[in-house]
């Protein structure tokens, strides 16, 4: 059977799911295609983005950081300003509207850092939907404030104790729940991952970041950036900002994966960065680069930031990398922490540890660039949720 | 006549699932041999995967144990070879997720599996849309009738899709009886007879039912309308809990075989 929208990104993507879910994916694709053509749906989405999320989010010239690094001018796309503190709300609200349109009254979400869980719980509260969030026990421990937030917002948080007890296991449990309750439930997947049509839907709802950023660069700075940098876990904030510049061939796109304790340590989440473990495979319904052992078992990952701690990368990123339209690198836990501190002190902005990986790449790259060149960074979220982790790390625990 | 066709001569058939490597490799081979020689008509031999998203807690735990004990695809295929050496002559269908097969090398996997004595494949995360690559690998090594990629149908599958899948299916149809993951249920869905009748409109190959069946009585009632009854979690749980896995496997297979083959005169 053919799909309405392209279901692959080159050789990546696809729909590797049990038969029980195929009809739900087909229904979701149909709902998405019809919603996109429906002016009323688009108006409702735009209205909520403006009046509820607070869009457009600002563009900030990080003058002191730029001076300190002594090279390129650095601009921050401030997704940390979005309601709930990260870009995740863009997609959560979009998909929650889709769920309503499909007549589904229950939404399911997985969460790593808790940002997508909070965003989903928020969207569910706003639209009057029931919300269940699956979260690994390890992540629950390191993201406690977000767990409390989700509960306040009326969501049920279900701890996941199977496997590595992190994001990948939360996704397994969410999919199992979805298989069981598929008729009345929408699975609100939080990243540009999973089976078609999710990577496309998530990119479309996150593309607002790139559209705004491009317009702001032209209006406020008068030119496009030379480089766009974003962190890449599943890759939703990155694909969101990249999509705005994908046709501007001279704009370099850089994704930053979690280097954890360093690539050679083996404790990381650098799918592209470690050819010994990062190979093309299938996980959670999609074909992409996956960290795995020789026997095809999914590898354990490590990152200081829960939001980047995942074994697979969104399939569109795999394609962009093959096409050499985007380039991917990594930053270690330590580099991310240094970047976190530097941004706090030079700009008065506490970034999420995820976004700090993107700042870490800026620290490496800006000094090598000229003063009239421009780096645009997607500051995908705020760091309040990470304070416990950072305090522990800075105290050397 | 190949092994699968042969197995369906005396319907309904009993099809237990058991993962290789649980509770350890040697015991799992003995268990599968015991199932085969005490009434199983076809066995789904499980390959383990770290992220079995279609499985409930019982099979999750068992395959996790198998992985911790060091099971690999290669060792699993060698175990199949060993089963054939021991005179196990019923069809053995490999059931496993896609990624370990890709990591092994798909063509090599199919070739080595058939060489080891495997009769077919069930890949739960490979729906019709994505099965072309697997079929191509298969066609290089055997005909689809000799070694089918078993297609699954679910209660959520709409009519037009069911027709498309059923028409092209080979071997037998795996009908998932409940919307959900593997695991025992108190009752099997009521509309099963109608659902199976819908499938039969489009194909003449056997239709087997799995997911949720845990008791011989349930198997018997499903066997009234289906050509085969698949029992996974209950089998894994009973054998895992049994003091002597091989003895438990024998009893388990005999109980289900009896319940199924008595179906005609026990029909109320």
In whole angstroms, give the CA distance from residue A182 to residue A256. 35
The pLDDT mean for chain B works out to: 93
Count of CB atoms situated within 10 Å of the CB of B109: 26
CB A228 within 8 A of CB A188: no
Quick one: pLDDT at residue B267? Answer: 45
Nearest CA of chain A to the CA of B150: how many Å? Answer: 12
- From chain B, the residues in CB contact with A292 under 8 A are 99, 103
CB A344 within 8 A of CB A42: no
Closest Cα to residue A301, out of A277, A269, A274?
A269
CA dihedral A241, A244, A245, A248 (to 10 degrees): 180
Given a cut of 90, is residue B13 above it in pLDDT? yes
A283 touches chain B (CB under 8 A): yes
In whole angstroms, give the CA distance from residue A309 to residue B200. 46
Q: What is the pTM of this model?
A: 0.95
Closest Cα to residue A256, out of A231, A291, A228, A289?
A231
In whole angstroms, give the CA distance from residue B4 to residue A396. 62
- From chain B, the residues in CB contact with A180 under 8 A are 179-181
In whole angstroms, give the CA distance from residue A329 to residue A353. 16
CB contact under 8 A, B103 and A295: yes
Count of CB atoms situated within 10 Å of the CB of A37: 9
Query: CA angle, corner B67, sides to B66 and B71, nearest 5?
Result: 75
CB contact under 8 A, A282 and B99: yes
Domains of chain B and CATH, by start? 3-146+227-267 (3.20.20.70)
The residue with tokens 């019809």 is: A34
In whole angstroms, give the CA distance from residue A131 to residue A124. 6
In whole angstroms, give the CA distance from residue A243 to residue A354. 20
The helix-helix angle for A115-127 and A144-152 (nearest 10°) equals 10
3-state secondary structure of A24: helix
Tokens of A204: 């479309």
Q: What is the 3-state secondary structure (H, E, C) of A267-309?
A: CCECCCCCCCCEEEEEECCEEEEEEECCCCCECCCCCCCHHHC
User: Distances in Å between the alpha carbon of A66 and those of A71, A76, A225, A261, A328?
Assistant: 7, 11, 14, 27, 22
As beta bridge partners, residue B230 has B15
Strands A326-332 and A185-187: unpaired
First to last CA, chain B: 35
What length does chain A have? 397
- From chain A, the residues in CB contact with B70 under 8 A are none
Nearest CA of chain A to the CA of B188: how many Å? Answer: 14
User: Distances in Å between the alpha carbon of B1 and those of B6, B12, B171, B172?
Assistant: 6, 18, 12, 15
Q: How would residue B268 be classed by pLDDT, with cut points 50, 70 and 90?
A: very low
In whole angstroms, give the CA distance from residue A251 to residue B27. 60
Quick one: pLDDT at residue B189? Answer: 65
Count of CB atoms situated within 10 Å of the CB of A261: 15
Nearest CA of chain B to the CA of A139: how many Å? Answer: 18
pLDDT by residue for chain A (397 residues), tens digit each?
Answer: 578 899 999 999 999 999 999 999 999 999 999 999 999 999 999 999 999 999 999 999 999 999 999 999 999 999 999 999 999 999 999 999 999 999 999 999 999 889 999 999 999 999 999 999 999 998 898 788 899 999 999 999 999 998 888 889 999 999 999 988 988 999 999 999 999 999 999 999 999 999 999 999 999 999 999 999 999 999 999 999 999 999 999 999 999 999 999 999 999 999 999 999 999 999 999 999 999 999 999 999 999 998 899 999 999 999 999 999 999 999 999 999 999 999 999 999 999 999 999 999 999 999 999 999 999 999 999 999 899 889 999 887 6
State the count of interchain CB pairs (< 8 A) between A and B.
125
């Amino acid at each position: 059977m053919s799909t309405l929208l392209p279901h692959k990104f080159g050789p990546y993507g696809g729909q590797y799911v049990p038969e029980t879910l195929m009809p739900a994916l087909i229904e979701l694709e149909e709902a998405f295609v019809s919603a996109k053509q429906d002016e009323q749906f688009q108006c409702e989405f735009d209205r909520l983005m403006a009046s509820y999320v607070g869009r457009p989010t600002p563009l900030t010239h990080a003058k002191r950081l730029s001076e300190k690094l002594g090279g390129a001018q650095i601009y921050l796309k401030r997704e940390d300003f979005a309601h709930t503190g990260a870009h995740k709300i863009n997609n959560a609200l979009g998909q929650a509207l889709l769920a309503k349109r499909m007549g589904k009254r229950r939404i399911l979400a997985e969460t790593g850092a808790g940002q997508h869980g909070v965003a989903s719980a928020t969207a569910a509260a706003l639209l009057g939907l029931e919300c269940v969030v699956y979260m690994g026990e390890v992540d629950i421990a390191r993201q406690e404030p977000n767990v409390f937030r989700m509960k306040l917002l009326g969501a049920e948080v279900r701890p996941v104790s199977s496997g590595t007890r992190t994001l990948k296991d939360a996704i397994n449990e969410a999919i199992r729940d979805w298989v069981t309750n598929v008729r009345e439930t929408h699975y609100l997947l939080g990243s540009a991952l999973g089976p078609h049509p999710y990577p496309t839907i998530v990119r479309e709802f996150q593309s607002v970041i790139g559209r705004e950023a491009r317009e702001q660069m032209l209006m406020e700075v008068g030119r496009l950036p030379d480089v766009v940098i974003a962190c890449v876990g599943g890759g939703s904030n990155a694909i969101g900002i990249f999509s705005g510049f994908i046709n501007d061939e001279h704009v370099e796109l850089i994704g930053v994966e979690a280097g954890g304790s360093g690539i050679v340590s083996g404790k990381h989440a650098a799918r592209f960065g470690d050819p010994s473990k990062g190979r093309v495979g299938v996980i959670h319904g999609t074909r992409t680069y996956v960290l795995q052992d020789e026997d095809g078992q999914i590898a354990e990952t490590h990152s200081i930031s829960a939001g980047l701690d995942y074994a697979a990368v969104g399939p569109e990123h795999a394609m962009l990398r093959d096409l050499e339209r985007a380039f991917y690198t990594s930053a270690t836990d330590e580099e991310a922490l240094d970047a976190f501190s530097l941004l706090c002190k030079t700009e008065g902005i506490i970034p999420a540890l995820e976004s700090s990986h993107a700042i870490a790449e800026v620290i490496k790259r800006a000094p090598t660039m000229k003063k009239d060149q421009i780096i645009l960074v997607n500051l995908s979220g705020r760091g309040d949720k990470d304070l416990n982790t950072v305090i522990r790390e800075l105290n050397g625990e | 006549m190949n092994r699968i066709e042969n197995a369906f001569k005396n319907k309904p058939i009993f099809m237990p699932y058991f993962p290789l490597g649980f509770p350890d490799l040697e015991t799992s081979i003995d268990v599968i041999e015991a199932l085969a020689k005490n009434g199983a008509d076809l066995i789904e031999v499980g390959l383990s995967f770290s992220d079995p998203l279609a499985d409930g807690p019982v099979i999750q735990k068992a395959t996790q144990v198998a992985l911790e004990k060091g099971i690999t695809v290669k060792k699993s295929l060698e175990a199949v070879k060993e089963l054939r050496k021991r005179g196990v002559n019923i069809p053995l269908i490999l059931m496993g997720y896609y990624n370990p097969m890709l990591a092994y090398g798909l063509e090599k996997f199919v070739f080595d599996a058939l060489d080891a004595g495997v009769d077919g494949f069930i890949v739960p995360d490979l729906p019709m849309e994505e099965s072309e690559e697997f079929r191509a690998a298969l066609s290089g090594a055997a005909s689809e009738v000799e070694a089918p990629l078993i297609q699954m149908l679910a209660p959520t599958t709409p009519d037009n899709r069911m027709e498309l899948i059923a028409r092209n299916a080979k071997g037998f149809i795996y009908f998932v009886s409940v919307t959900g993951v593997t695991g025992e249920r108190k009752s099997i869905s009521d509309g099963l007879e109608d659902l199976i009748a819908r499938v039969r409109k489009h194909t003449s190959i056997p239709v087997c039912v799995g997911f949720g069946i845990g008791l011989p009585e349930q198997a018997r009632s499903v066997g009234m309308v289906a050509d085969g009854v698949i029992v996974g979690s209950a089998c894994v749980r009973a054998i895992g809990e049994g003091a002597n896995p091989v003895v438990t496997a024998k009893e388990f297979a005999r109980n289900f075989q009896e319940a199924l083959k008595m179906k005609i005169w026990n029909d109320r």
